[in-house]
Amino acid sequence: MAVSSSSASTSSAGAASIDVASIVAQLMTVENKPLDALAAKISQQQVVISDLGTIKSKVSALGDMLKAFQNPASYNSAVASTTDSTILQANAANGAIPGSYNVTVGSTASASKFTISGYSSMTDLAGINSVAGFSITVGSTTYNTLGTPAGTPSLAASATIGDLRNWINGLGVNVNASLVQTTDSSHYALMIQGTQTGVANALSYAGLDMVSGPSIVITSGSADVPTITESASVTFNALTAGQTLVIGGLTFTAGTSGATADQVAAAFAGIANEETYTSINTDKGLGDASGGAFTAGSLSAWSSGSATGANIVFTSDISNSNVDNLVSSGSAGGLTATTVSTAQDAAFTINGTDFVRSSNAVGDVIDGVALNLVSSSGTTQVLNIARGADNSKQTIANLISAYNDLVSTYKSMTANPSNSSANKLGTFANSPTVLSFIGDIKSKLSSGATYGSPDPVTGKLSTISLSAMGMDLQLDGTIKFNDAAYALASNKGLQSILSAGVKIGGVTGTLSSNPRVTTTQGTASSNESASVAFSSMSPNETLSFAGLTFKAGSSGASAAQVASAFSSLSPAGTTADSFNSSKSLSALTGGTFTSGVLTGWSSAGAIGTSVVFTSTTSNADVADLTSTQTAGTTDLLAFINSQVGTNGVLSLEILAKTTASSNLTKHQADLQARLLTIQNNLTAQYSALNALLYQLSSTSTALSSAFTALTNSQSSN
């Protein structure tokens, strides 16, 4: 933005002498010209960056469509079916080979599952052994609440069942624990199960003191015999401090010193139906001295008799009926451990071959087919894989659309009077070489495609042209879909060809000549050296030298670029990535080091295409320096990926333009600051001049008045 002129006053307490604002504005118009030119340059740079981004996105889109076109799975839509989906299910991915298979599911994979029931709430004591702790083994590793192995959190023996659940889940391994309500709010169970099936993922646990509940002997009631009402003879056990016992809806919690069996019986004795825990505590004066107190509930549907030692008889409040039996729960109510299932592998047979897997989801037996073993059965299931509809036409159409979109954008951005009737010049009309790689894309695309396996005699791949697949190249560089040609190709088995895997421009490149190495043998007083004359390299060709592997870019590398990459290498042991960074190697410099470390040699600076290497082993005749080369390819997809990748020509060009734009913007800010200083100085100078002129004018007026007065005075005399 140009610096504007000041609106400073043009006079000083009187008539204007000079127009300061106008003079400064005219002077700044001249000063602002470099700034205006710089702003225009920045604006143009932003357009270039934006258009390069557009081209990059179009090239990426073409790469995506080309990848789909070359993927065999794009043409092999497949459908799987089984004779009984309650035993065996299957899904076929694109590319699965049609066929029929006989499958017998001997057993399905399962995970370890355990249930410990008998808890009355989530705050009941878990019953962890105070000496050994609670341990759980997952696969081959055992975790213990005592804090083993290292890093495992510890858990006190006095932990609740909720604490134990959280500890198990907090291990972060293939096990899950949950607390579930079973029959009512006074009955809970801890469920522990593996999250993965198979013997290798088996679980086991130890260290829970399985408390024995009170002995309850039931005498069932009878609706047919009026005198027989259900009763339950309960013989209690002693409780440790904090243990809870739930019977008939009442919860008793042992005191700080625990409770003897007789004390527990005394607490439960002589209670009427529906009597609440608070009234019982008050009536009996229960507390630590009596072994504990009731902490919740009321006696429901039962009444209790007097205690005989540790024994009490409970009688149902429902007369003459065989009611639900009286049960106990809580941390002292008796725990029951149940093994729901043990971990086992899946065993099945396919076409007479036996297989064992740890999971019921099997995807590594039949290519492209995912099996789901639902249940075991002695009946052989038939699995059919059939080929689905041919969708090659749409895949080809998508490729044509992406390519034509790129070509259209390219033509617009390079438009000039010689190649376009449009009056508007394209962004790259005067620098079309920036997008010269589009020509490489056209060339590689027009070369057709290879497919199948190499011929055993010639080593060559089968080829197919674009036109043979229904893609006609037009004079304007675009592609037109040819329905007739496609229909003919489809009838001749085009889908089978595409399903075998095609590669556009997939012709193997040629090796360049090997670097010429002239060795000067080492001696007791001199290190071995090797003068290396490098050759140019084909696109994507690799050269291994002194422990480092250099890969030429998608446009190849000149001999001088290769020599520059291998020059000034030291010290030994430096990695390929380090050299790429320190030497700023990229596709623009001919290629990059892809692997290795500098081994046994260091190199001097390049002289043209030659570099001298010196052995880092002193005073020894070492193994001579040798090279290894591999051919590159002209694969179009690889070329496209190299253009849009992080170190690709497009990405680097965008980075370079962005950096240049940032530098211009910084220069613009600096120039604006300097121009503002100039403007302020000019305004100050001309304002000072204006003030001086005003003072001179005032002095002149005063002198004139004095002379007039003097003259008049003399005339009157």
Q: Write down the pLDDT at residue 481.
A: 94
157-210 confidence digits (pLDDT tens): 989 999 999 999 999 999 999 999 887 777 889 999 999 999 999 999 999 887
What single-letter amino acid sits at 174? Answer: N
pTM of this structure: 0.47
Task: Tell me which long-range contacts 669-674 makes (C-beta under 8 A, separation of at least 24).
Answer: 671/34, 671/35, 671/38, 672/1, 672/3, 672/35
Q: Write down the pLDDT at residue 689.
A: 79
CA distance 521 to 577: 31
pLDDT at residue 5 greater than cutoff 70: no
Confidence tier at 4 by pLDDT (50, 70, 90): low
Confirm if 488 and 473 have CB atoms less than 8 A apart.
Answer: no
Confidence tier at 216 by pLDDT (50, 70, 90): very high
Kindly tell me the burial class for residue 108, based on how many C-beta atoms sit within 10 Å of its own C-beta (0-12, 13-18, 19 or more).
buried
Least confident of 143-157, 343-357, 375-389, 443-457: 443-457
Q: Write down the pLDDT at residue 507.
A: 54
Q: Write down the pLDDT at residue 521.
A: 85
Element (H, E) at 594: strand 591-596
pLDDT at residue 1 greater than cutoff 50: no
CA distance 519 to 614: 10
Q: Write down the pLDDT at residue 278.
A: 96
Helix, strand, coil shares of the chain, percent, nearest 5, are 35, 25, 40
Q: Who wins on pLDDT, 79 or 355? A: 355
Q: Write down the pLDDT at residue 660.
A: 76
What average pLDDT does the segment 473-483 reach?
91
Picking from 651, 639, 653, 57, the residue whose alpha carbon sits closest to that of residue 406 is 57
Average pLDDT across the chain, whole number: 85
CA distance 370 to 363: 4
pLDDT at residue 2 greater than cutoff 60: no
Collapse the DSSP code of 284 into the 3-class scheme (helix H, G, I; strand E, B; otherwise coil) and give the result: helix
Q: Write down the pLDDT at residue 37.
A: 74
CA 629 to chain centroid, in Å, comes to 35
Collapse the DSSP code of 633 into the 3-class scheme (helix H, G, I; strand E, B; otherwise coil) and give the result: strand
Q: Who wins on pLDDT, 508 or 506? A: 506
Q: Which residue's entry shows tokens 């027989």?
A: 228
What average pLDDT does the segment 269-277 reach?
96
Q: Write down the pLDDT at residue 370.
A: 94
CB atoms within 10 A of CB 682: 19
Q: Who wins on pLDDT, 170 or 39? A: 170
What is the crossing angle of helices 33-70 and 20-31, to 10°?
Answer: 40
- Most confident listed range (56-65, 417-426, 447-456): 56-65
Q: Write down the pLDDT at residue 420.
A: 66
What average pLDDT does the segment 356-365 reach?
94
659-690 confidence digits (pLDDT tens): 777 777 787 777 777 878 888 887 888 788 77
Q: Write down the pLDDT at residue 85.
A: 94
Collapse the DSSP code of 550 into the 3-class scheme (helix H, G, I; strand E, B; otherwise coil) and give the result: strand
Picking from 518, 570, 564, 547, the residue whose alpha carbon sits closest to that of residue 628 is 547
102-113 confidence digits (pLDDT tens): 999 999 999 999
Picking from 657, 651, 652, 600, the residue whose alpha carbon sits closest to that of residue 623 is 600
